[in-house]
């Protein structure tokens, strides 16, 4: 009996962890939890369908502030330059706000919803100083 109870508790724990950190489908589309840690995202790859709407839930489990910016490689490079320029001008490291960007403080979470209209590759990049260059990127393949 004791073994069965322990196994049941373990199974509940595994199921609750899996549903809280893994993509799930609902009536409005799919929700994907992205964990922000110091200099990396989890998951770092994702596949979506063209026309699909994804509600991203970003959870910062790191020790520093992170941001998430959605765009292709060219947009990521522009955002990186704008962020660096903003840091020099204002000291905060952030460019103008964007509908496809979010900043999350340590221990907090935030949501960002995006509809993937075109096939190809879209990236989510963190543009806190040094993070994008260190590879803090999610590669999204839109098929």
* Whole-structure pTM value: 0.76
**Which residue from 101, 55, 52, 61 is spatially nearest to 79, judged by alpha carbons?**
101
Question: Which tens digit of pLDDT belongs to each residue from 64-111?
Answer: 999 999 999 999 999 999 888 776 544 444 444 568 999 999 999 999
């Amino acid at each position: 009996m004791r073994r069965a109870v322990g196994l049941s508790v373990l199974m509940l724990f595994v199921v609750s962890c899996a549903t809280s950190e893994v993509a799930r489908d609902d009536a409005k589309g799919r929700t994907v939890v992205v964990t922000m840690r110091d200099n990396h995202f989890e998951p770092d790859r994702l596949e979506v369908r063209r026309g699909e709407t994804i509600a991203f839930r970003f959870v910062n489990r790191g020790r520093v502030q992170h941001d998430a910016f959605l765009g292709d490689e060219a947009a990521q490079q522009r955002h990186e330059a704008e962020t660096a320029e903003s840091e020099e001008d204002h000291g905060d490291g952030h460019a103008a706000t964007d509908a496809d960007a979010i900043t999350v403080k340590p221990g907090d979470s935030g949501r960002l919803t995006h509809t993937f209209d075109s096939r190809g590759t879209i990236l989510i990049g963190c543009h806190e100083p040094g993070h994008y260059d260190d590879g803090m990127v999610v590669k999204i393949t839109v098929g």
